[in-house]
Amino acid sequence: MVLVYIDQADQQIKKASLEALSYGAALAKQLGCQAEALVFGTIKDNLADLGKNGAQKVHQLKNETLNSLDVKVHSSLIATAAKNLNATVVVFAHNINGRAIAPAVAVKLNAGIVTGACSLPNTENGFAVKKTVFSGKAFANINIQTPIKVISINQNSFGFVEYNSTASIEDINLVVPPASIKITKVEKIEGEIPLTEANLVVSGGRGLKGPENWGMLLDLAKALGAATACSRPVSDADWRPHHEHVGQTGIQIAPNLYIAIGISGAIQHLAGVNRSKTIVVINKDAEAPFFKAADYGVVGDAFEIVPKLTAAVLKAKAAN
């Protein structure tokens, strides 16, 4: 059986977990078994709908203390559940939570692990999992030989598969260990699209010259319904908040569309965005490194191009 851990935030299932579930369902079909989901905490979403993403059964541990991530507690419970359910593969989304939990679960299960997988395993001769390496510049095929296997799947690398089915829901009875952390304060960013969940992202760099010019980028993002991001020099200069910094040392994202405005495209920035489905670069420097990674590039002054692009988007939306 393939067991997929369903990650949540504010009692709502994260989009990345739905993709992980689609991946787990396809893997289960390949292995000739079934895919089942594991959910902790109290969830507002209809768990039966996880059947649309491939889960035949949902195991839920209803305990409000599990609504907040505690890596030590969660990894212990996931490992115990995997053993009790006789799971042979445990699948995670390769997001912030998955990166923290998956390795800990692998240790507890004495399982081989591949993080950041980008395709289904090749099971013709073993269990070889393809993943990105060197900040996305190359691929590696890793053969897992342990009886139990742990995989975390890169966001936007597999997609969503819709099934015409409904999952059954079962309570799973596990003893929740004492919390290893104490949450003293929570500060939430309101009114913004979370970068890790965004399908569209508009990002700016030093080419915008200063925070006073960010209005045109925000206008474009609003017109597109996109999240906003920035390069590290921008966040370091306090032009934009640090939670918008994407790159190797910031948030790593994989939206369907990433628009980079006034960003040169240093390798550290590319490492955080190179899994985007489509990259559009707007820069007046025709030699900017980002153009080599772009699907579409516009050489020109962002202060002229971006307002025209925003107007075109609004016109197109009005026409529809």
What is the spatial distance between Cα 274 and Cα 119, in angstroms, rounded to a whole number?
A: 16
Position 195 scores a pLDDT of: 86
Q: Which CATH superfamily is domain 195-319 in?
A: TPP-binding domain (3.40.50.1220)
Residue 132 pLDDT level (bands cut at 50, 70, 90): confident
Domain 2-171 -> CATH class: alpha beta
Q: Mean of the pLDDT values across residues 233-243?
A: 94
pLDDT, tens only, 97-121: 999 999 999 999 999 999 999 999 9
CA nearest to 282, candidates 196, 199, 216, 235: 216
Q: What is the predicted pLDDT for the residue at 183? A: 85
Q: State the DSSP string of 229-297.
A: EE-HHHHHTTSS-GGGBBSTTSB----SEEEEES----HHHHHHHTT-SEEEEEES-TT-THHHH-SEE
Q: What is the DSSP string of 54-118?
A: T-SEEEEE--GGGGS--HHHHHHHHHHHHHHTT-SEEEEESSHHHHHHHHHHHHHHT-EEEEEE-
Average predicted confidence (pLDDT) for the chain? 93
pLDDT, tens digit, 9 for 90 and up, residues 142-177: 999 999 999 999 988 888 888 989 999 999 999 999
Interatomic CA distance for residues 178 and 66, integer angstroms? 11
Q: Which of 19-23, 127-131, 267-271, 305-309 has the lowest mean pLDDT?
A: 267-271
The 10s digit of each residue's pLDDT in 176-205 is 998 888 888 887 776 677 888 889 999 999
What is the arithmetic mean of pLDDT over 218-234? 95
What is the rounded distance in angstroms from the CA atom of residue 68 to the CA atom of residue 8? 9
pTM assigned to the model: 0.86
Backbone angles phi, psi at 17, to 5 degrees: -70, -30
CB 195 within 8 A of CB 251: yes
Q: Give SS3 for 129.
A: strand
Is-contact 311 291, C-beta < 8 A?
A: no
Handedness of CA 263, 265, 267, 269 (dihedral sign): positive
- Inter-residue contact 256 to 278 (CB < 8 Å): yes
Q: In what order do the strands lie in the sheet with 89-93?
A: 138-143, 128-133, 112-117, 149-153, 89-93, 2-6, 35-40, 57-61, 168-171
Where does CATH 3.40.50.1220 sit in the chain? 195-319
Delimiting residues of CATH 3.40.50.620 domain(s) in the chain? 2-171
